[in-house]
C-alpha cells in the first residue's frame, strides 16, 4: 500500500474566482473531512497531487494541517473534462485499523485457449479492506480458458483480510468463439450470410427480396 506525504495549506477564500486563482498558482482546492470533524478546506500542490493520484487508492499523509492524524484517501477527484487538469479533490480521513470500502482493479493474466475471444466485462471490484493495507489490484490467471468459460467476482482470490463487496455472481470476463470471415463480412454489408445449401429463393425471402423468376420458353 502506497503512502505519500503531501504538503497542504489552509484555504480561506471560496467561490469560482478564488478557485481559479488557486489553480493559476499551480495548486488544487481540496476538502479534508471525516470522523466527525468539521470539513477543512485546503489547497494541495498540483504537480505532487497529480503524481500521487497515478497510484490507485493512494494513501495521503497530509502535512501542514492541525490534527492528530491526517491520513486520507481520495474519494472524489474532479478534472476538467477537456484539458484533464485537476479541479478539486475530496479527501476522506481514515485511521489505522479502520476498514473502508474501495474499488480495486482486476488484472487478467495469461492467455486463453486458441479459437476464443476474451471480453473483460468488469475492470474493478468493490472490496472492504483495512485502510492502510489496500491492495493496488487483484490478479486472476486466465491461462488456457476455453470457449464458454466465465470468470465471476467470486472466483477472484483476494488477499488475506480483504472481503468482496461486489456481488460474487457478477461476470468479470467471458470467453466466446472467434467470429468467422463470413460473419464479419455479413456485419459489414448488414446482411446475414445464407447457410450452406440454402436455396436462393429462401435466402431472398428472408431478406425481404423476391427471387428472380424463371424465364418461360
pLDDT tens readout for residues 201-215? 444 444 454 444 444
The class level of CATH for 100-177 reads: mainly beta
Q: Alpha-carbon distance 214 to 217, whole Å? A: 9
| CATH 2.40.240.10 residue ranges for the chain | 3-95
| CATH 2.170.120.20 residue ranges for the chain | 100-177
SS (H, E, C) 73-139: EEEEEEECCCCCCEEEEEEEECCCCCEEEEEEEEEEECCCCCCEEEEECCCEEEEEEECCCCCCEEE
| pTM, 2 dp | 0.70
**Cα distances (angstroms) measured from residue 165 to each of 85, 96, 168:** 31, 21, 8
Average pLDDT over residues 171-180: 92
**pLDDT at residue 202 in the model:** 46
Q: What is the mean pLDDT of the chain?
A: 85
- Tell me phi and psi for residue 136, to 5 degrees: -75, -20
Facing residues of 93 across strands? Answer: 72
| Cβ proximity of 40 and 33 under 8 Å | yes
Nearest CA among 104, 120, 100, 123 for reference residue 112: 120
pLDDT tens readout for residues 100-154? 999 999 999 999 999 999 999 999 999 999 998 899 899 999 999 999 999 999 9
Average pLDDT over residues 42-56: 92
What percentage of the chain exceeds 70 in pLDDT? 83
Q: In terms of CATH architecture, what is 3-95?
A: Beta Barrel (2.40)
**pLDDT at residue 211 in the model:** 46
pLDDT tens readout for residues 22-42? 988 999 999 999 877 788 999
Q: Alpha-carbon distance 37 to 157, whole Å? A: 36
pLDDT tens readout for residues 16-27? 888 889 988 999
Q: All 3 cell numbers of residue 119?
A: 471480453
**pLDDT at residue 185 in the model:** 76
**pLDDT at residue 68 in the model:** 56
Nearest CA among 207, 187, 190, 189 for reference residue 198: 207
Angle at 103 between CA 101 and CA 106, to 5 degrees: 140
Going by pLDDT thresholds of 50, 70 and 90, the confidence category of residue 67 is: low
**Cα distances (angstroms) measured from residue 211 to each of 33, 44, 132, 195, 214:** 73, 73, 71, 16, 9
Amino acid at each position: 500500500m502506497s503512502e505519500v506525504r503531501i504538503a497542504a495549506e489552509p484555504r480561506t477564500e471560496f467561490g469560482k474566482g478564488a478557485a481559479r486563482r488557486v489553480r493559476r498558482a499551480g495548486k488544487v482546492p481540496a476538502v479534508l473531512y471525516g470522523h466527525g470533524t468539521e470539513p477543512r478546506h485546503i489547497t494541495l500542490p498540483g504537480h505532487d497531487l497529480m503524481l500521487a493520484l497515478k497510484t490507485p487508492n493512494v494513501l495521503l499523509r497530509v502535512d501542514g494541517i492541525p490534527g492528530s492524524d491526517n491520513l486520507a484517501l481520495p474519494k472524489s477527484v474532479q478534472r476538467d473534462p477537456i484539458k484533464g487538469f485537476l479541479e478539486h479533490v475530496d479527501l476522506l480521513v481514515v485511521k489505522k485499523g479502520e476498514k473502508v470500502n474501495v474499488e480495486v482493479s482486476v488484472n487478467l493474466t495469461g492467455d486463453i485457449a486458441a479459437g476464443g475471444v476474451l471480453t473483460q466485462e468488469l475492470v474493478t471490484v468493490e472490496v472492504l479492506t483495512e485502510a492502510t493495507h489496500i491492495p493496488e489490484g487483484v490478479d486472476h490467471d486466465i491461462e488456457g480458458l476455453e470457449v464458454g468459460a466465465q470468470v465471476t467476482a467470486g472466483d477472484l482470490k483476494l488477499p488475506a483480510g480483504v472481503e468482496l463487496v461486489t456481488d460474487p455472481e457478477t461476470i468479470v470476463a467471458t470467453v466466446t468463439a472467434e467470429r468467422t470471415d463470413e460473419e464479419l463480412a455479413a456485419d459489414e454489408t448488414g446482411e446475414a450470410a445464407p447457410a450452406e445449401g440454402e436455396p436462393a429463393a429462401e435466402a431472398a425471402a428472408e431478406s425481404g427480396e423476391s427471387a428472380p423468376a424463371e424465364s418461360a420458353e
